Amino acid sequence: MSMKKKISVLAPDLSGGGGTRVYLLAEVLQKLNYDVKVVGCAFRQPLYPPPPSYLTVEWIPGSDYPQFIGAIWQLLQKIDGDIIYAVKPRPTSLGIAVLKNYKVVNRLF
């Protein structure tokens, strides 16, 4: 019996309409039988649009640099997927995914 693969979908911003594409992608991955969790920052609250009830969404408040550096460490702890799917090439998604990969590969953190 095979276990479901876990996917962490990294959203660049879960406020201001940024979650729509992320939620749709996560829903498709769930339908493909993956265990999916959406992870990201919300630079404005509340989350908009609100996440569907069937999705696991973990978020932290976003902020400007240099305060955002503390948020990066919080996000890295929430990423636990076998696969990391970064939505958009931004520091808050792809940048954090690269840091997570570096952390896992090199066991530095």
pLDDT digits 0-9 by tens, 65-108: 888 888 888 999 999 999 999 999 998 899 999 999 886 656 65
Confirm if 91 and 41 have CB atoms less than 8 A apart: no
Q: Is 98 helix (H, G, I), strand (E, B) or coil?
A: helix
pLDDT at 11 over 90: yes
Q: Is 61 helix (H, G, I), strand (E, B) or coil?
A: strand
Mean pLDDT of 37-61: 92
pTM of the model: 0.88
